[in-house]
Chain A
Amino acid sequence: MTKKEDVLIPKLGVVTDIRRDTPDVKTFRVNAPEGGKVFEHMPGQCAMLSIPGVGEAMFSITSSPTNKEFMEFSIKKCGCVTEWLHQMEVGQEILIRGPLGKCFPVETELKGKNLLFVAGGIGIAPLRSVINYVIDNRENYGTVDVVYGARSAEDLVDLKEMQESWSNIDGIDVHLTIDREQEGWDGNVAFVPNYVKDLGFTTDKTVLVCGPPIMIKFTVAGLQEIGFQTNQIYTTMELKMKCGVGKCGRCNIGDKYVCKDGPVFRYDELGELPAEY
């Protein structure tokens, strides 16, 4: 009998570094047991991580494919799998399968464009992959603006990288905001959608927006008010997923399977789907 290979069968990965970003978000570095990456991906694609006996869940690969050494996942603690992942120590083996889903069109529609990234909370995870990809292929893209917000200053993921690395690159502007005033914070205070509107961006930009559904909705509405078209806006969708390859039926909305046809969608494509997400 032949031993099987199948997209449902994961490979082994090893956690080689763990960083605490916020009270409930940690970023995990994952390598293949023999070193290097478990597989290649493009920005916006995801992977299923699992632990025997605990379960399997979908996560954005937050590192850029231009990182040739390892993959990273920023994970928010909110249930069985994520709690288990949060108590891991370096050296832990995990199961990983992917890459799953479609990427942001970094090599096609986004090429040569001025880019505006808008993220809320853990929504930075998929965008961080794109931003670092754009930085590493700087000549292929125009200006970059990053608007990032969270509940409080402590909840901003990857803050150090934004302040120390991204902010110092020519043509990249980082705009941070938090929901409520707090001691020691001299930056902006506003909900992300309002901040985006206040910043009054020119409509020559292509927008990539990720975060809680309600944030995405209001951000897009605000952008439309200042003249953006829905076909200039990309986002990602989050639905319950099991197979990740368009077969188990779980993430089906209209004639789309979010795992396979997404999770990245152009906003005008979403408008054609039944309002069920």
Chain B
Amino acid sequence: MYKLSIDNLNELFALIGQDSKVYAPIERAGQVEFFLWSVEEKVRLDALNTVKSAKGFFFPQTEVLYKTKLEGKKIEIEAAEDAEEPTVYFGVRACDVKSFDVLDKVFLSEPVDSYYAAKRKHGTIVSMACSKPADTCFCGLFGIDATSPAGDVVTWIVGDTLYWDSKTEKGEALTVKVKELLVDADDVEVKKQQTEVKEMIAKAPLHDLSLEGFGGDALDELFNSPKWEALSSACLGCGTCTFVCPTCQCYDIRDYDSGHGVQKFRCWDSCMYSDFTMMAHGNNRTTQLQRFRQRFMHKLVYFPANNDGDFSCVGCGRCLQKCPQSLNIVKVIKALGGKKND
């Protein structure tokens, strides 16, 4: 394990930035999001959750798939190029790091999504342990340890010191590159912080949720539950929950006609939208109840059925913070889950 003073963070980013792009949680106009780092930016490693999640690193909100042009009877097509620029993502929290596992299961399963794969391959993740979990956090429910996140390099901030521990080959390579700024350290302070934070998590409001009763086997019973009515009746179908969610990965493919040709692009979409499943001979989900149910059934039942029991939620709490109607996955888990939630 190594350490450096957080006064040297800009030097660290500048050194990494010599041959990589660096993304970090940065405050602009009062909101913290992952933005491309430069010296002028206000880095906010203390901020817990960025407004939007980290999924956009590898699955951007919009991305061009190919360019094409129609002229009379002729068509030209030119594929987009693979992202090959090394990029370091700094300060990713445990829940968001775990979300990459969920996204990998979708985009790296056959047939591999080469757009996602290229960005993933050239990305190095520097995660950051949490020292002050929020009341809306419940990553522990999904087996995530917020004090010891996954990632290529894991970091902890204790007081004015950043501790640095590389975990993978990519992490090792990054460590070598910034070695001149790091000094050897023991893990005493880190261990102490981990113990304290674990105690905080054990007392957090959502610490005792249970996923008992969810997973692939409970499909019919949960789908037909009369409780969806009350759970979903206030939903506006605004899609905020799906956009901020690190594991929501539904997308649309569309044409943008620039006047000099067409860009075929994909963009985030939402199963909460009324036209999501609209087709020529009708719509198979005409009510918001059906759409609301789809979002949560997918996360808690369908996805686990296809992915060895892993859920498509990482407990980041963003949907708890952002839904204008105070609807969220915790309410669903409490209402439909096993007795342990009572």
Contact = CB atoms under 8 A, between A and B. Distances in A.
Interface of A: 1-10, 12, 50-56, 78-79, 82, 89, 91-95, 212-213, 238-240, 242-243, 245-255, 274, 276-277
Interface stretch (B74-82, B139-147, B159-167, B233-241): B74-82
A53 B216 contact: no
Contact of A53 (B109, B111, B262, B266): B262
Q: Which 8 A-B pairs have the closest CB atoms?
A: A249-B250, A255-B305, A240-B279, A52-B262, A52-B70, A93-B75, A52-B68, A1-B81
B79 A4 contact: yes
- Name the prevailing secondary structure of the A interface residues: loop
B279 to A, nearest CB: 4
A91 B253 contact: no
A23 B74 CA distance: 27
Contacts of A92: 73
Interface string B276-305: 111111001100001000100110011001
B114 A6 contact: yes
A239 B294 CA distance: 15
Contacts of A94: 75
B249 interface: yes
B66 interface: yes
Given A6-B65, A52-B69, A274-B223, A238 B253 contact: no
Contacts of B82: 1-2, 4
Interface of B: 65-66, 68-70, 73-75, 77, 79-82, 84, 106-107, 109, 111, 113-115, 216, 219-220, 223, 249-255, 257, 261-262, 264, 266, 269, 271, 276-281, 284-285, 290, 294, 297-298, 301-302, 305-306
Given A10-B77, A95-B77, A255 B216 contact: yes
Given A12-B77, A254-B223, 13 more contacts: A4-B80, A4-B81, A6-B113, A6-B115, A52-B75, A52-B264, A53-B255, A53-B262, A56-B253, A78-B281, A248-B269, A254-B302, A276-B284
Nearest to A249: B250
A259 B319 CA distance: 29
Contacts of A6: 65, 79, 113-115
Of A2, A5, A254, most B-chain CB atoms within 10 Å = A254
10 contacts: A4-B81, A6-B79, A52-B68, A52-B262, A92-B73, A93-B73, A249-B250, A250-B269, A250-B276, A255-B219
